[in-house]
Copies of this chain bind each other. A is one copy, B any other.
Amino acid sequence: MLDIKSFIAGRVSLMESSEIREILELTEGKNVISLAGGLPDPKYFPTEELAEISSYVLKEYGWRALQYSVTRGLREFREEIARFMERTGTPGEMPYNIIVTSGSQQALNLLAQVLVNPGDIVAVEKPTYLAAINEFKAVGASFEGIPVDDEGMRVDLLEERLKILKAEGKRIKFVYTVPTAQNPSGVSMSNDRRSHLLELAEEYDFLIIEDDPYSHFMFEEVNFKRLRSMDKYRVIYTSTFSKILSPGLRLGWVAAHPDVIDALEIAKQNADLHTPTFNQLLAAEALRRGVVDKHIPRVKEAYKRKRDVMLEALSEHMDGLARWTRPVGGMFIFAYLDENIDTKEMLPEALSAGVAYVPGSAFYVDGSGRNTMRLNFSYPSEEMIRMGIERLAEVVKRYATSSV
């Protein structure tokens, strides 16, 4: 009997399938309100503008839009990205500092390949972005989880850990952070902590990955400086067009020291040769025409409204059952339930009641956070948000009673 599974390489077992994607599959086609995903609201995609741009690009560039192109990305696209960064607070990027990636998932995948030797220690926020954990784990990283409070990562606690590790002859290779409108906690790192983090990077000789998908969607007046604007040597910056234009085009980028870009280029050539030429030209033209810049405030306003609707619904239905973050930006609220409640165990009950969320433990490198959950407000309609939270409250009430 032919056993195909026996041919599969060991490294596949290190790769984790995203829990979120699994939940999404469970809810597909069913009458479940999903607060689990991380999808942008497609109502706001600039679909008509992109239809116009598509025709223009194929007319203007002709076959060049359909031919192979260079691995690091079209120069004109990298120039537009540098300009976009400049006008949104991160000046000084040159095309040779930038590589185009097939979404920020690929950026994280290539960074993991290029930076992590098995056993290297990576420091991350606790909680942090699930997909980043999975990427670093798949190449053999071990983790230091640094707690987050209202001002973002507890850099003082990071410093303590650095001291202890140093005494043990160990070091942190890099810190991965989502400093602005963090996923999943919704907080932003204060500028003081950002400065402190950069000082520690010097002192303890580590790099920093600044993952920045949400900083264009800030609902409050938050004064923040991107880490990349403060240090062009140690900070590797990554962002994505998924939220500022369209996720289905799969476009992201990394801005970093040329030595990092060179290594990423080799890895990317192995991965997929280059990001689609056509898609790069679409996004370059969308930047050039101001489609992205006009798109951002529209989306921001909509997400702010939805956040407020979710906060209201939480106050109305979940008061006393949980506490939750008031995110300054982004797409998620993070909720903390009673310590006795395991949100992973509760999930099947929630699904039967017609509401889905992501159990928070997936965002903790140390397996803690079992009483937490991530709630998405960018995708569901305002009505669905209200209904979803109402359903969720009922489940929590019932579950809390039955599990006591």
Does A373 reach chain B (CB closer than 8 Å)? Answer: no
Does A274 reach chain B (CB closer than 8 Å)? Answer: yes
A3-28 interface mask toward B, CB cutoff 8 Å, 1 = contact, 0 = none? 01101111110010110010000000
Chain B residue, CB-CB nearest to A120: B9
Q: How many residues on chain A are close to B (CB under 8 Å)?
A: 79
Residues of A49-86 at the interface with B, using a CB-CB cut-off of 8 Å, are 50-51, 54-55, 58-59, 62-69, 71
Known: A58-B54, A113-B12, A248-B66. A173 touches B269 (CB 8 A): no
* A187 CB to nearest B CB, Å: 25
Partner of A233, one of B4, B47, B68, B267: B4
A109 near B66 (CB under 8 angstroms)?
A: no
Does A94 reach chain B (CB closer than 8 Å)? Answer: no
Known: A105-B271, A273-B103. A259 touches B66 (CB 8 A): no
A230-248 interface mask toward B, CB cutoff 8 Å, 1 = contact, 0 = none? 0001100000001000111
> Which residues of the other chain, B, contact A139 by a CB distance below 8 angstroms?
9, 11
Known: A9-B115, A270-B109, A270-B135. A45 touches B67 (CB 8 A): yes
* CA–CA, A61 and B46, complex, Å: 13
Partner of A59, one of B18, B51, B234, B272: B51
B51 near A58 (CB under 8 angstroms)?
A: yes
* A54 CB to nearest B CB, Å: 4
B2 near A71 (CB under 8 angstroms)?
A: no
* CA–CA, A67 and B66, complex, Å: 22
A100-125 interface mask toward B, CB cutoff 8 Å, 1 = contact, 0 = none? 00110110010001111100100000
> Which residues of the other chain, B, contact A272 by a CB distance below 8 angstroms?
102-103, 105-106, 109, 250, 271-272
Does A164 reach chain B (CB closer than 8 Å)? Answer: no
A249 near B276 (CB under 8 angstroms)?
A: yes
Partner of A174, one of B7, B64, B248, B266: B7
> Which residues of the other chain, B, contact A71 by a CB distance below 8 angstroms?
21
* A26 CB to nearest B CB, Å: 14
* CA–CA, A17 and B103, complex, Å: 22
Residues of A258-315 at the interface with B, using a CB-CB cut-off of 8 Å, are 259-260, 263, 266-267, 269-279
Does A207 reach chain B (CB closer than 8 Å)? Answer: yes
Chain B residue, CB-CB nearest to A3: B259
A21 near B269 (CB under 8 angstroms)?
A: yes
Does A89 reach chain B (CB closer than 8 Å)? Answer: no
B248 near A278 (CB under 8 angstroms)?
A: yes
> Which residues of the other chain, B, contact A249 by a CB distance below 8 angstroms?
66, 276-278
A67 near B17 (CB under 8 angstroms)?
A: no
Does A87 reach chain B (CB closer than 8 Å)? Answer: no
* CA–CA, A382 and B335, complex, Å: 67
* CA–CA, A190 and B233, complex, Å: 56
B10 near A270 (CB under 8 angstroms)?
A: no
Does A134 reach chain B (CB closer than 8 Å)? Answer: yes
Can you show 12 pairs from A to B with CB atoms below 8 A apart?
A9-B117, A12-B113, A12-B267, A15-B267, A21-B269, A47-B58, A51-B55, A66-B248, A105-B270, A109-B270, A135-B270, A276-B279
